[in-house]
Structure 1
């Protein structure tokens, strides 16, 4: 097994923490422009860029051999490894979403079975989300395609990218890759124009803007894969800290109005995120005092991301229903943040890593 790019893993952790902060403030501030991370949703696009790089590094050579020869890997071998890596946390996250949904004390009767909610629709949403498939929207969850655990919408598209990569992208040449990148960039710019009235790229999670999701996936995934294949690197001091600060500065940049903001965000995805990848790819492991933090945040990133949103909804409904003072609101926000980190840590070491290790020995040896 190849060694990880630990700095890139750590950057995934930086982005995941920014997502939690963004979502907490998303439910308590008037609009995205007042959020500490007004572009925080672009962490999703950065995740896709990371995924493209990491998949290319881990599987390009093995998949190109088509299952023949030492170290070769078939499509099904690849699929098993990706499922083992990503899916064990899904039933936990979706079940937590179900529990939080049924026990939210601040939504009246709208989420009670037999009153504002049918058992059939709830079970259907639960089963479909276990397989990361879009489901009918439930009460109080707007237009979400994955309403029992909203972040799983990104994982649904991640799985699609994995399939396309293993069946086709792993074998394309640089010329075609450049053409696809150009088309992906054009699609992002067109989307920026079409989303000007919404003033942001933070869509794709609902049925109304479902078309945005594949647009947000395509370019960054291809760009991450291309950065790996070209071997591009930018060497800066303390790359984990430096790249993290650049990423956070991008997500915290002031929001503009209308088309200016969507074009700005398209530019961030097209130009800045690949540059951050190049910084993160400049070394395999972060040394010194930042090394343990880099490795820990990298490991924690996925559990944090997939577990946090049901608790964000509980927090948001409490704020909207009880109108707490600023001190109580901020204290609760810190509590939610800390709880999610502790829960993710406990499940990472007590469930996710042991289960993945067992599954890997049994099915991916």
Structure 2
């Protein structure tokens, strides 16, 4: 197996000659160097604590103060009286917000379908997680699981066995899907360096032999889902490999990454993946679009992608449900609206 740094180097080298439609756009161009630098300088094993990761692909609950000074603050907190320690720990870690998200997840649970009760986040990689009812959860995991409850409310997911995702971050949906459906297969398509990170994480959780990495897939002329089933639980591809992917997936997902791309890039991705989706689409993105960059190479997008734009581009699908209040996120002033949408393939005729 090719070492992770070697895989990352190969991905980055291949990306230089990839078609423009599969390269990072303005938002991610601003993050590419700090992410790569953190991986090289701090090591991939600690990726969840990298400064760049928190901003770009590892969301969390804790405050900036606690994140920066936790090694100093933890011994101080340990010496406080129990009630005061709990109050300050909650304030710094925002564990109350995690509990609130967990309660929403539990309150919106749906019987049957994908068994999310089996899911607990792995502790093989360090990082922020909270324990509720004997299970561990991260910010990203609770976001996914609430959205999956909306999917389960609308469709029968009991026989879902395959999931395709674009922009899967460090692999959280893959962990959820494969723990809920042990015989399933999950394919994540993402740009480097994040593709290298998700490869590492999924290998830690499920074993290196169960994850098809870039060193093996980059020379394949065709990446056939049926050939991969049974051999692998997870597959991590780079975007320029997407046209080689063949087969039919039960579910396609995109969470918070279409919004970080430019509209023409999103439209191209959707045109390629629509024929690959047999049943449903689950997306969560900003309803009103990502923050605009003031100029090229600033953090932000040059042109916004809204959830309405995404739904319209999936023209082979009907919208079954959309929500921000329970399954997504909605600020009191309405300026932040993260909308979850469930789509269903239109019936022939």
Same fold (TM over 0.5): no
Q: Which has the higher strand share?
A: 2
Higher relative contact order (CA 8 A, sep 6+): 1
Q: Which has the higher helix share?
A: 1
